[in-house]
Chains A and B, each alone.
Chain A
Amino acid sequence: MNFPPVLSIMIFLPLICAIMVAMVRGEKGDEAIVEKNVKHLSLFSSLFVLAFGIFTYQNYDATITDFQFVENYEWLASLGINYHLGIDGISLYFVMLSVFLTPICILASWTSVKKRVKEYMIAFLVLESFMIGTFVALDSILFYVFFEAVLIPMFLIIGIWGGARRVYASYKFFLYTLFGSVLLLLGLLTLFSQVGTTDIPSLIANPVDAGLQKWVWLAFFVSFAVKMPMWPVHTWLPDAHVEAPTAGSVVLAGVLLKMGGYGFLRFSLPMLPDASIYFAPLVMWLSVIAIIYTSLVALVQEDMKKLIAYSSVAHMGFVTLGIFSFTQQGLDGAVFQMISHGVISAALFLCVGVVYNRLHTRDISRYGGLVNNMPIYATMFMIFMLASVGLPGTSGFIGEFLSLLGAFQANILIATFATTGVIFGAAYMLLLYRRVVFGPQGNKDAAQMSDLDSIEKAILAPLVILVIYLGVFPNTVLEKVTPATSQIVFVYQDRNVPDDMVENSDGIIEVETQDASVSE
């Protein structure tokens, strides 16, 4: 056991802080003071958690491939369910993303959230706790609890602090993800009944037979595909983003979408290798469809948030493409793409939030010529836009390229189609930027908006630095990710990579071997 138990601290600290925030009270008439105290306390709490996150990051040993900071206590002894926590190179970065984005979310809501501030902050702190829990849990039931619990604060954030159609959006969000959850639980219980444990490392070590794998895989797939989201179960995302408050969108795009990819990497791939190989072509084609389809849809959007939401689906397509290539570059690329997308999409939603706070519309045509009155905003938006397009030198490029490189080794045709995404991606982002930032100042009210204030600068500046730093020195991330992903790749190495890659490369993965038992 480690001391201090940082992972538990990171899970429970936000919860404790949330309770403290709940207890902040004041006399009638002191609402302003209460609100101020609540904000400061929440910010301080999230920064405190961030400090623990940095501590964990600093002490993470990249040379060890096993799980680190492990905590393992009996929890529900009768069922053999343990309170088992630990992180590897993959989960480390998702935890970092969670602890990094939460203070940004709180700051982003500093002035824009006006009603029920206390409850809002509580929701975010609880959300942070659950997000971290999801990524550090090493027991499948514990994971499931956190994975599902995340929905509750998010549902509330959209449903209470959202826009006009917030109720529709939050129900849609809930319906989709709940549907996935039921199947996920079913899959987990099946594995439990077969292997006799809910412990993730043990489940990885003892794969079930190939026939059963496929059913479990499908159950997992529905759940994770909804979370990603993959085409065609993506339609909840645009609505959820459009209606969510800015910070809600940030955390939704920044962290929640990554749970699907994380699920594939933690459950589907290592636990169900045969089924994963069997279904890989399906996933890759769905990814390609997602990339092209949603890019084209993004091209015609009139709503800024909807456009970025659709672009998220396209970017997540690269993630699933990389994951199901089963190559080192593909997996590294997928993880990197998720981290990078977490930063970039968060930043883009913040950029939308900046102008939304001023003009209270997301309609692209209501803006234009912002470069004249908001030069700093224009510059930062430009950097994020180019990062989203995947410009080399920004983090967006590394993930996209590595994923495609992995996919190319698995299936050239799919990689070729997927690469067209770089053209479409440029098309819709440039069009958005041009219509919002360039051009004549057609709208009087848009022309009078003020440039970034100090809070907005403080939020966006670290993201700018991160986007460029990760693009120029991606190895700081990759050196920790690679040991973890290579564990997964190792399982697949003798299964699917042809002996002579040049000679047999059309990438159709043979799977006919072990599905005789399934059909009946």
Chain B
Amino acid sequence: MELLAVFSPLFAFLIAILFGKQIGDKGVQFITCAAVIIAAFASVVLFFNVILTPNMVDGAYVTVLTSWISSGGFDVEWALRIDQLSVVMMCVVNIVSACVHIYSVGYMSHDPHKARFMAYLSLFTFAMLMLVTANNLLQLFFGWEGVGVASYLLIGFWNHKHSANAAAQKAFIVNRVGDFGLALGIMAVFFVFGTIDFTQIFSNAEQYSQKTINFLGYEYHALTVICLLLFVGAVGKSAQLGLHTWLPDAMEGPTPVSALIHAATMVTAGVFLVARFSPLFEYAPTASMVVTVFGATTAFVAATIGMTQFDIKRVIAYSTMSQLGYMFFALGVSAYSAAIFHLMTHAFFKALLFLGAGSVIHAMSDEQDMRNMGGIWKKIPFTYAMMWIGSLALAGVWPFAGYFSKDIVLEAAWADHSWFGSYAYWMGIAAALMTAFYSWRLIIMTFHGKPRASEDVISHVHESPSIMIMPLVVLSLGAIFSGSLFYGGFVGSSSVDHGVDHAKAIVDAGVKHGNINIDDNIDISEKSGIHKREETMVNLWSKEYFWHEAIYVLPENDTVDAAHSAPFWVKKLPLAVGLLGIFLAYIVYMVKPGTSLIIVSVFKPLHILFFNKWFFDSIYNYIFVRNSFTLGHAFSRSDKNLIDKIGPDGIAGFSERFSGNLSKFQTGYVYQYALVMIIALISIVSWFVFKADPSFYMPDDMLLDVELPSHVNSNIGGGSL
């Protein structure tokens, strides 16, 4: 089953690339869609398998495919690790990917290269699945880079556009900066643990928790170093502050790509990585603190930029970045399950928003600037409704999915009772206000008011075909229900009503019975098993039972548990600011449309800062890009003017001049030759007479007597006089 879930997209990709010509565009579209749908079903089956029978050896089913690298003690396998964390990710990836595949059939119907597009989407899906099912760091890195390449190919899909190529290249290189950290992290893990296999690393984490690494004479806490290096990778891939500049530019790619890669799946790989390494982060509190601060700051900064942008896709992109910040500070306060919960709900509603935006762009004849939209809600009511659902979920309004996940994330941050936890909470609250504000700014500017587009465009506005609507419906179901449905399992606590031990005892009993039932066919035990299971159902649907060993939290760090007993105002504040944000946007853009201009002029410096994305791009260009080229030119010149001048050209020039000088001796006058000969003769004779020395004759081993070069030199020096 896991093979089917992971490898069918690869199979589809290979068919599409190798036989694309033979089977035609329709064939490629069919095969790729079918493969991903099959993979989606397979992962749902796996999900239930794993959730219902969670007592696996070492916490995971590992299917070893074959050996990959083995060199000395460095043994790496191609293997699929199926545990609770990976099945959740597989379901998210495959379901969203299936939706996007189908949507793309409609969206890309006018593109001449649609077969190539579908092939890349399948390649991406495969790489992402390899990433989440990896059982060692190197296979994770394979998937990590694989999704990077797929993203590169898809951002630059319209490769006649200069901006698309630039964005694709930027995405790849900025990600490489993150990969630089991740690669070093992998090396450090091998250095410390002697293995990069997940099972072995995690079981040894506690044992190595006091190790140190010596670097430049200083001792550093080994696990902190490892976690920070891995986090650098996560910062790059998940577009956290500092390495985020590629994400907005990545919107150059076709919109389905933005939905799949730059909202739902690839950008969450960093979140997955940190959650996967929860056993290490738990022993590296400093690293967790850094993660929290980065996440909280990103959530805030991205939201401020999101409020000022006019490109509909860029607004959503900054919103993605901001939401990823939420996930990271949840990870930082040890609320890993909450982060994954938010990851899942976010995948649904953000993909929905992007595909909805794609539908708008499609309807508006490829217009992306919201200043040229407006007044079209009656013409595309379905898309309008979808955007509302997505935005409500994003803003965290009950009972939409975002309400549940965002709340638990913020409550967990508050419940951490540390300075950075509080920092994260208040930054998160501020970002929540802005999130709601820019979401409704987007809705109002896009759909309401007077039409600002040309007559021609307006007359062409049409609802999307049903092949694009179907996936939206699926995603909207996720955006509405995934929060309430999975709240208990992902983050629900079993310790609120019962004691932890009590609950665990019941759970274990239930599991045992469940297994016995499967093995034996005796009616009575089966019945009693079912009975037991019903009795404990309430407790089973809790995070302890759901995650089992896939996520590791030290008991004293369990902020998710603590979050459930947070005060009332902490729990309700996110919803309140969300509603406030919607209200403000309504006032500013609907009731008094001129207000925004006044606000901008009042807060001019702030607006300049936000609108220019806090000047990250300009600073990076100035410091890194320009200097790299300057240095490159300088080195290039030094190759020619320094190394070659001293080296080969210098020697050649010297010997030319030398032989030129030498040839001047060839004057052709016999008397000069005779004079030289006589002088030479006298010199040699006098040498023999006065300074005769047996060692003048070269001893047998002199050539080899390299240990004593001074001796050799003195002899030769004496002779040449």
Contact = CB atoms under 8 A, between A and B. Distances in A.
Interface of A: 171-172, 175-176, 186, 189-190, 193-194, 211-212, 215, 232-233, 235-236, 238, 293-294, 296-301, 327-329, 332-333, 369, 371-372, 386, 391-393, 397-398, 401-402, 404-405, 408-409, 412-413, 415-416, 419-420, 422-424, 426-427, 430-431, 434, 437-440, 472-475, 478-479, 482, 486, 489, 501-506, 518
Interface stretch (B52-60, B68-76, B435-443, B468-476): B68-76
Contacts of B141: 392
B176 A422 contact: yes
B187 A404 contact: yes
Given A232-B643, A474-B68, A503 B214 contact: yes
B159 A438 contact: yes
B71 A402 contact: yes
Contacts of B632: 296-300
A375 B621 CA distance: 32
- 6 A-B pairs with least C-beta separation: A328-B72, A300-B632, A392-B142, A408-B187, A296-B632, A332-B71
The secondary structure that dominates the A interface is: helix
A408 B191 contact: yes
Given A171-B652, A296-B631, A506 B214 contact: yes
Contacts of A300: 629, 632-633, 636
A416 B180 CA distance: 9
A300 B177 CA distance: 20
B604 to A, nearest CB: 37
Given A235-B647, A236-B648, A503-B214, A190 B704 contact: yes
A175 B648 contact: yes
Interface stretch (B165-173, B276-284, B344-352, B359-367): B165-173
The secondary structure that dominates the B interface is: helix
A426 B169 CA distance: 9
A195 B169 CA distance: 56
Contacts of B215: 412-413, 505-506
A501 B189 CA distance: 12
A219 B462 CA distance: 77
B273 to A, nearest CB: 15
A211 B71 contact: no
A175 B651 contact: yes
A189 B631 contact: no
Given A171-B652, A233-B647, A235-B639, A502 B213 contact: yes
A238 B648 CA distance: 14
A439 B639 contact: no
A489 B66 CA distance: 27
B10 to A, nearest CB: 11
Contacts of B693: none
Nearest to B709: A215
Contacts of A212: 706-707
Interface size, B (range): 35 or more
Interface of B: 66-74, 138, 141-142, 145-146, 149, 156, 159-160, 162, 165, 168-169, 172-173, 176-177, 179-180, 183-184, 187-188, 190-192, 211-217, 222, 628-629, 631-633, 635-636, 639-640, 643-644, 647-648, 651-652, 701, 703-704, 706-707
Contacts of A293: 635
A486 B72 CA distance: 8
A296 B165 CA distance: 21
Nearest to B158: A438
B241 to A, nearest CB: 19
Contacts of B168: 434
A297 B636 CA distance: 5
Given A482-B72, A505-B213, A297 B701 contact: no
A299 B173 contact: no
Contacts of B192: 502
Nearest to A386: B149
B243 to A, nearest CB: 12
Contacts of A434: 156, 165, 168-169
A405 B190 contact: yes
B184 A416 contact: yes
Contacts of A472: 68
A4 B612 CA distance: 74
Contacts of A294: 635
Given A415-B184, A422-B183, A502-B191, A475 B160 contact: no
Contact of B146 (A172, A393, A505): A393
A332 B72 contact: yes
A408 B648 contact: no
A172 B648 contact: yes
B126 to A, nearest CB: 11
9 contacts: A175-B648, A232-B643, A328-B72, A391-B145, A408-B188, A423-B177, A424-B628, A426-B173, A475-B68
A297 B639 contact: yes
B635 A297 contact: yes
Residue in A299, A391, A402, A416 whose Cβ sees the most chain B Cβ within 10 Å: A299
Given A232-B647, A420-B180, 20 more contacts: A186-B703, A212-B706, A235-B639, A235-B647, A293-B635, A297-B639, A299-B629, A299-B632, A332-B72, A391-B146, A393-B146, A402-B74, A408-B187, A412-B215, A422-B179, A440-B160, A472-B68, A482-B72, A506-B215, A518-B707
A175 B159 contact: no
A184 to B, nearest CB: 14
Contacts of B628: 296, 299, 424, 427
B600 to A, nearest CB: 37
Given A430-B169, A439-B165, A409 B191 contact: yes
A428 to B, nearest CB: 9
B31 to A, nearest CB: 19
Nearest to B67: A475
Nearest to A412: B215
A235 B643 contact: yes
B186 to A, nearest CB: 8
A430 B217 CA distance: 38
A438 B216 CA distance: 44
Contact of A328 (B73, B640, B651): B73
Contact of A392 (B66, B146, B172, B648): B146
Residue in B73, B632, B639 whose Cβ sees the most chain A Cβ within 10 Å: B632
A431 B74 contact: no
B183 A419 contact: yes
Nearest to A518: B707
Contacts of B74: 328-329, 402, 405
B71 A506 contact: no
Nearest to B219: A503
A489 to B, nearest CB: 8
Nearest to B183: A419
A419 to B, nearest CB: 5
Contacts of A501: 191
Contacts of B704: 189-190, 193-194
B542 to A, nearest CB: 38
A215 B69 contact: no
Contacts of A392: 138, 141-142, 145-146
B15 to A, nearest CB: 15
A431 B169 CA distance: 8
A41 to B, nearest CB: 35
Contacts of A397: 145
A215 B707 contact: yes
A375 B634 CA distance: 36
Contacts of B70: 475, 478-479, 482
